């Protein structure tokens, strides 16, 4: 389907505001340190215990960025280094009890802020926005910036489904979208 250039431009401009929205979400969630703190905690909770390189890969950032963010979380007691049972020379990153509590509290606060922000929206608008964001992320994930062909990128392992109780609501929505696309 072909879209009007004006509509695509309006969507692109709206998406530029996502970084400011992300900072707002972090603030509402009560994450005081690095902007990516909630994201890192969420990733470590979901895939951990994991190597820093696995966390970096999941977040789509380089190793040094992930390492700095994890160190900040470790300094605050939100993640711990644990021995890798398969390689005694290395360690894995795991969410601590304090990190789990922080993540749960942040998610609760964030849900409250979002509920307040959309209280005058109807259900279809809320679900339409959530579905649209997930759908756009999935579609952009198949675009290769060097050519216009699809890539083999997958953001959730095939064995993770929307019914997985360890997924956040946003991750479950992404899993539902990926299940639909498969």
Predicted confidence at residue 171, as pLDDT, reads 54
**pLDDT tens digit string along 124-179?**
999 999 999 888 888 887 876 544 443 333 344 444 444 444 555 555 555 544 44
Task: Please tell me the predicted confidence (pLDDT) of residue 52.
Answer: 94
Tens of pLDDT, residue by residue over 17-45, are 887 777 777 777 776 554 457 888 999 99
In this predicted structure, what is the pLDDT of residue 33? 54
60: its two tokens: 């789509």
Residue 63 confidence (pLDDT) above 90: yes
Q: What would the mean pLDDT of 75-86 be, rounded to a whole number?
A: 92
What's the CA gap between 132 and 35, in Å, rounded? Answer: 24
Q: Please, where in the chain does CATH 1.10.10.10 lie?
A: 1-98
Residue 54: CB atoms within 10 A of its CB come to: 17
Q: Has this prediction a pTM greater than 0.75?
A: no
Backbone angles phi, psi at 95, to 5 degrees: -75, 140
- At 95 the pLDDT is 96
Task: Name the average pLDDT for the chain.
Answer: 78
Helices (H), 48-158: 52-59, 63-75, 97-117, 123-141
| pLDDT of residue 49 exceeding 80 | yes
Please report, for residues 65, 90, 134, 143, 150, the alpha-carbon distance to residue 137 in angstroms, rounded to integers and kept in the order given. Answer: 22, 34, 5, 10, 13
State the pLDDT at residue 123.
94
Q: How large is the C-alpha radius of gyration of the chain?
A: 18
CATH of 1-98, one of 1.25.40.10, 3.30.365.10, 1.20.120.1770, 1.10.10.10: 1.10.10.10
pLDDT of residue 36: 59
Q: How high is the pLDDT of residue 145?
A: 57
CB 136 within 8 A of CB 173: no
Q: H-helix or E-strand containing 44?
A: helix 37-47
Return the DSSP state at 85. T
pLDDT at 181: 39
For the record, the structure tokens of 135 come out as: 């759908």
Q: Which residues contact 3 (CB under 8 A, 6 or more apart)?
A: none
pLDDT digits (tens, 9 = 90+) for 97-121: 999 998 898 888 888 888 998 999 9
Nearest to 103 by CA among 37, 161, 156, 171: 37
Higher pLDDT, 8 or 154: 8
Tokens 């709206």 belong to residue: 14
Higher pLDDT, 13 or 79: 79
């Amino acid at each position: 389907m072909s879209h009007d250039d004006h509509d695509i431009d309006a969507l692109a401009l709206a998406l530029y505001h996502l970084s400011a929205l992300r900072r707002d979400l972090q603030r509402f969630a009560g994450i005081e340190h690095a902007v990516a703190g909630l994201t890192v905690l969420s990733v470590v909770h979901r895939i951990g215990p994991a190597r820093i390189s696995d966390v970096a890969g999941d977040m789509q950032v380089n190793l040094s960025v992930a390492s700095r963010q994890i160190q900040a979380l470790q300094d605050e007691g939100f993640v711990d280094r644990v021995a890798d049972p398969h390689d005694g020379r290395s360690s894995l990153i795991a969410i601590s009890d304090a990190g789990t509590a922080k993540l749960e509290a942040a998610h609760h606060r964030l849900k409250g802020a979002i509920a307040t922000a959309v209280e005058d929206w109807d259900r279809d608008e809320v679900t339409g926005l959530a579905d649209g964001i997930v759908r756009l992320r999935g579609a952009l994930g198949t675009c290769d910036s060097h050519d216009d062909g699809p890539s083999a990128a997958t953001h959730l392992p095939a064995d993770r489904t929307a019914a997985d109780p360890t997924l956040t609501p946003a991750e479950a929505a992404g899993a539902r979208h990926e299940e639909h696309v498969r």
